[in-house]
């Protein structure tokens, strides 16, 4: 093998795992290319309200990290882009990156927000899980890094019909470029870190919970956006159907998890904790509200995690019901939840205002594609597989290719950060060997 390029690493993904690995490598003096398919970095953590078990503000923790990544001399952000192809070996990887047209010249743009303010088109915001609206020209969030907008070609009146053009008229630095084309970037790197993250199991694939067709049945990430101060209601909990404050909420754990006969066979690991967190935060927002949690069993193996769940039960008055939900349906303006309490042996019916499902965590579709390019093993579900989960948790068996974070399976934030730092350390070890 020829002499290794000691200075370049390619990280695919830009969530908290990817950012931690990038900062570790950048601070050690190595050059990092950080590729993210969305217009800005931060991943799933950017959508959270608070974190468990301390209830610290997620943005307060994350924003300094995103700013550090965005301004780091050794970290090169390539956002709104996807890796189209990648080949090579340790020391000599070659990646072709497809960067989507933003229709905004980011070199000129100052991030003033004038274009977003004047844009007349509103569409459901994916970042808010469809609960809020965004403009056709938008940034993902007020704390976005880079804080540069993109134009959604599908919904832009000018790009679709040749009408409007208001954003170009009001832009003070003439950054709007309707003629901008997709571009391609060629990157050479000595090592690759896959930090592709996760998706949530779709509500449409959960017919027992309404299959995404019952109003006021939402997933846990949507509820995070309702709780968030930067969310669609500025942190006020209002149910989507009519904007009323829900007085009774049912949280359903293991929705699509631990169900090998119909859905995913594994435990999604973080649901017990974030359901407890969300029930506590709900009580902080709606002081006279009542929340219920249906669970199979409680799994809270972390420092102060079990005490946190006990706090939800004992101090916040959350009612835990050990049993599975059999049916969810709309009835007289309420969401009726039918289930069983196996401890008392009784059937339970709750007419709730809002139901929050904790869906299974599942791998992103692009994870499989990248794994096939790099000949990295994945399991039967599609999660990346480490060479040895006990002793080599970040190594793939392919020299120079490492994994970080929830691309390998469900993890909480502290575990994700530790996993990412381990991957960065392995890259540095590889580079030092030359």
Q: Which structural domains are found in the chain, ordered by start?
A: 8-99+182-197+364-433 (3.50.50.60), 114-170 (no CATH), 201-360 (3.50.50.60)
Task: Please provide residue 169's backbone torsions phi and psi, each rounded to the nearest 5 degrees.
Answer: -70, -35
Quote the CA–CA distance of 20 and 422 in Å, as a whole number.
Answer: 10
- Angle in degrees, 0-180, between the axes of helices 220-227 and 271-285, rounded to the nearest 10: 30
pLDDT at 4: 39
How many helices (H) and strands (E) the chain has is answered by 10, 24
Using DSSP's 3-state secondary structure scheme, residue 34 falls into strand
Q: Which DSSP string do the residues of 198-227 spell out, in sequence order?
A: EEEPPGGG-GGGTTT-STTEEEHHHHHHHH
Tell the residue number behind the tokens 């007289």, with chain if given. 332
Task: Please provide residue 148's backbone torsions phi and psi, each rounded to the nearest 5 degrees.
Answer: -125, 135
Strands 122-124 and 92-99: unpaired
Burial of 21 (0-12, 13-18, 19+ CB in 10 A): buried
Quote the CA–CA distance of 123 and 138 in Å, as a whole number.
Answer: 10
Q: How many CA atoms lie within 13 A of 406 on its CB side?
A: 23
pLDDT at 7: 65
Do 222 and 132 form a contact (C-beta atoms < 8 A)?
Answer: no
Classify residue 128 as left (phi > 0), alpha (psi -120 to 50) or beta. Answer: alpha
Please calculate the CA angle 383-388-393 and round it to the nearest 5 degrees. Answer: 70
CA 84 to chain centre: 21
Instruction: List the structure tokens of 164.
Output: 């409007």
Do 194 and 103 form a contact (C-beta atoms < 8 A)?
Answer: no
Give the chain's end-to-end CA distance (angstroms, integer).
10
pLDDT at 182: 97
CA 421 to chain centre: 19
Do 196 and 367 form a contact (C-beta atoms < 8 A)?
Answer: yes
Instruction: List the structure tokens of 312.
Output: 């939800």
Burial of 107 (0-12, 13-18, 19+ CB in 10 A): exposed
How big is the chain by its Cα radius of gyration, in Å?
23
Quote the CA–CA distance of 322 and 340 in Å, as a whole number.
Answer: 8
Quote the CA–CA distance of 250 and 302 in Å, as a whole number.
Answer: 25
Q: What does pTM read for this prediction?
A: 0.95
With residue 328 as reference, give the H or E element that holds it.
strand 325-331
By C-alpha distance, which of 54, 58, 55 is closest to 15? 58
Neighbours of 10 (CB within 10 A): 26
pLDDT at 3: 38
pLDDT in tens, the chain (434 residues): 333 344 699 999 999 999 999 999 999 999 999 999 999 999 999 999 999 999 999 999 999 999 999 999 999 999 999 999 999 999 999 999 999 999 999 999 999 999 999 999 999 999 999 999 999 999 999 899 999 999 999 999 999 999 999 999 999 999 999 999 999 999 999 999 999 999 999 999 999 999 999 999 999 999 999 999 999 999 999 999 999 999 999 999 999 999 999 999 999 999 999 999 999 999 999 999 999 999 999 999 999 999 999 999 999 999 999 999 999 999 999 999 999 999 988 999 999 999 999 999 999 999 999 999 999 999 999 999 998 888 999 999 999 999 999 999 999 999 999 999 999 999 999 999 87
**Residue 315: CB partners within 8 Å, gap ≥ 6?**
none
Neighbours of 190 (CB within 10 A): 24
Burial 371-389 (b: 16+ CB within 10 A, else e): beebebebeeeebbbbbee
pLDDT at 433: 86
């Amino acid at each position: 093998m020829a002499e290794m390029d000691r200075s370049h690493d390619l990280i695919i993904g830009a969530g908290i795992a990817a950012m931690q690995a990038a900062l570790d490598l950048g601070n050690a003096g190595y050059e990092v290319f950080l590729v993210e398919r969305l217009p800005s970095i931060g991943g799933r953590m950017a959508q959270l309200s608070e974190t468990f078990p301390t209830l610290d503000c997620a943005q307060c923790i994350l924003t300094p990290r995103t700013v550090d990544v965005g301004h780091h001399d050794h970290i090169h952000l390539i956002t709104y882009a996807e890796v189209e192809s990648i080949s090579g070996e340790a020391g000599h990887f070659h990646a072709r990156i497809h960067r989507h047209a933003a229709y905004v010249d980011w070199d000129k743009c100052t991030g003033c927000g004038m274009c977003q303010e004047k844009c007349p088109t509103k569409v459901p915001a994916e970042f808010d899980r469809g609960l809020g609206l965004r403009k056709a020209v938008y940034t993902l969030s007020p704390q976005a890094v880079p804080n540069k907008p993109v134009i959604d070609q599908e919904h832009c009146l000018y790009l679709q019909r040749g009408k409007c053009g208001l954003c170009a008229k009001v832009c003070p630095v003439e950054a709007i470029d309707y003629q901008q084309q997709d571009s391609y970037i060629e990157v050479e790197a000595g090592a690759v870190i896959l930090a592709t993250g996760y998706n949530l199991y779709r509500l449409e694939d959960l017919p027992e919970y309404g299959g995404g067709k019952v109003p006021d049945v939402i997933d846990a990430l949507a509820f995070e956006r309702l709780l968030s101060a930067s969310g669609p209601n500025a942190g006020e909990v209002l149910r989507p159907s009519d904007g009323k404050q829900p007085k009774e909420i049912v949280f359903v754990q293991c929705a699509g998890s631990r169900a090998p006969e119909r859905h995913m066979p594994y435990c999604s690991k973080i649901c017990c904790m974030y359901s407890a967190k969300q029930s506590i935060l709900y009580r902080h927002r709606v002081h006279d509200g009542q929340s219920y949690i249906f669970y199979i069993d409680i799994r809270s193996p972390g420092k102060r995690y079990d005490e946190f769940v006990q706090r939800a039960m004992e101090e916040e008055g959350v009612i835990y019901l050990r049993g599975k939900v059999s049916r969810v349906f709309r009835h007289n303006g309420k969401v009726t939840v039918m289930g069983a309490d196996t401890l008392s042996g009784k059937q339970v019916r709750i007419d709730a205002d809002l139901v929050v499902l904790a869906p299974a965590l599942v791998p992103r579709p692009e994870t499989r594609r990248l794994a096939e390019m790099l000949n990295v093993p994945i399991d039967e579900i599609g999660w990346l597989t480490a060479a040895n989960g006990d002793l080599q948790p970040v190594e793939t068996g392919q020299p120079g290719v490492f994994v970080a974070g929830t691309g390998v399976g469900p993890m909480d934030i502290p575990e994700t950060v530790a996993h990412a730092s381990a991957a960065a350390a392995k890259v540095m070890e590889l580079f030092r060997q030359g």
